[in-house]
Amino acid sequence: MTGLAGQERSPIKARRTPLRERLARHAPFALSLAAGLALWEIAGRLTSAAFMAPLSETLLRFWQLARSGELLRLTLSSASLFATGLGLAIVVGMPLGLLLARVRLLREALDVYIMILYATPMVALIPFILSLFGFGFGPKVLVVFLFAVFPILYNTIEGARSIKPELIEVARSYRSGEWALWREVMVPYTLPYTMTGIRQAIGRALVGMIAAEFWLSATGLGGLIMNATQNFDTGAVFAAVLVMVAAALILMRLGMTLEGRFARWRG
C-alpha cells in the first residue's frame, strides 16, 4: 500500500508538475486494464475454446457480428423491449405515485403492499408469466415493466411523505386550487425522488430485459447469449456480454446524471 487516500497528500506532492500528476492518476488504471486484458487473452489461450474465448477471439466475433448487421439488429430488438417496458413503468409509476402522494388514505392503504412488492425478487414471477401469457412481445414487456415500476412508485411515495405539511398549508392559505397545488408544490417536490426511482428502475429494467430474453423467448442480445452458449460459441457470448456491460454502464451513468440534475432541488 502506498500512501493513504485523499486526506494524506503532502504539499510537496501538490506542487508536482501536472503531467506527473496526471500520470500518477491514470497510469494505475491503464496498467491494471492492460493486465486484465492480457490475463483474459492468456487464460483464453491456455484453456479450450469452448471454455473461455480469448480477447482476440472475442473481438473477432464482435467484428463479424457487427459487420453482418446481426449485432445491430439484436441490439435494436433488445432496446425496443427495454424502452417499452421502462417507458410504461414511468408513465404508470409517476402519476400513480403522485396520486398516492396526494390522497393520504390511498397511500396509507397501499404503501405496505408496494414495499413488499418492491422487495420481492421479480425474477421469481417469470415462470408464472410464461405459463399464463406465453412468450410474445407483450409478456416480455410485462416482465420489464414489473422489474422497473416498483422503484419508481416506492421513491415517489417516499418523496411525497417528506413534503412538509407547511408547504401545502401555505399554498392552501393563498387559496391555491388543486391543479396549482400539484403543479407548484407536489410535482416539483417529489420529482427528485422520482428520479432516484428512475435511476434504480433503469438498472432493474435491464435485468428484466435479459431475464425475459433468457426465459420467455430467445430474442435480442439475451437470445444471442443463450444461443451462442448452446453452440459453445464462447467468443460470441463474450462479445454479447461486452455490449451489454457497455450498455449497462452508459445507461447507469445517464440515470445518475439525470438524478444529479434534479437532486439540486431537494430542500
Partner 1 sequence: MAVTALATPARPRLFAGPLVPRLVAGLAVAAAWEEAVKLFMPDYVATPIGILAAFPHVIVSAPFLAALAQTMAAVAEGVLIAVVLGTVLGLVIGRSLLAERALLYYVNAFYAMPILVMLPLFSLWFGYTSAARLATIVFSAIFSIILNVADGARSMPKDYLETARSFRSGRFRELFEVVLPAAMPYFLAGLRLASGRALIGAVVAEFFTAIGGLGYFILFNSRTFHHNEAFVAVLFLAGFGVGADALVTWGTRRCLPWYRRDEKAE
List contacts with partner 1 (CB under 8 A).
Answer: 1-7, 25-26, 28-29, 31-33, 36, 50-52, 105, 108-113, 115-117, 119-121, 123-128, 130-132, 158-159, 161-162, 193, 196, 203, 206-207, 210-211, 214-215, 222, 225-226, 228-229, 234, 237, 240-241, 244-245, 248-249, 252, 256, 259, 263
d(C-alpha 150, C-alpha 208), whole Å: 13
Closer to partner 1 by Cβ: residue 9 or 180: 9
Q: Write out the DSSP string of 186-215.
A: IHHHHHHHHHHHHHHHHHHHHHHHHHHHHH
CB of 176 to partner 1, least distance (A): 25
CA atoms within 13 A on the CB side of 84: 14
d(C-alpha 34, C-alpha 40), whole Å: 10
Integer distance in angstroms from the first to the last C-alpha of the chain? 40
Closer to partner 1 by Cβ: residue 72 or 246: 246
Q: Identify the burial level of 89 via C-beta atoms within 10 angstroms of its C-beta, where 0-12 means exposed, 13-18 middle and 19 or more buried.
A: buried
Phi/psi of residue 223, each to 5°?
-65, -40
CB of 19 to partner 1, least distance (A): 16
Closer to partner 1 by Cβ: residue 181 or 207: 207
Closer to partner 1 by Cβ: residue 149 or 211: 211
Closer to partner 1 by Cβ: residue 125 or 171: 125
Closer to partner 1 by Cβ: residue 62 or 215: 215
Residue 11's Cα: distance from chain center in Å? 41
d(C-alpha 167, C-alpha 97), whole Å: 19
Q: Is the dihedral of CA 199, 202, 205, 206 positive or negative?
A: negative
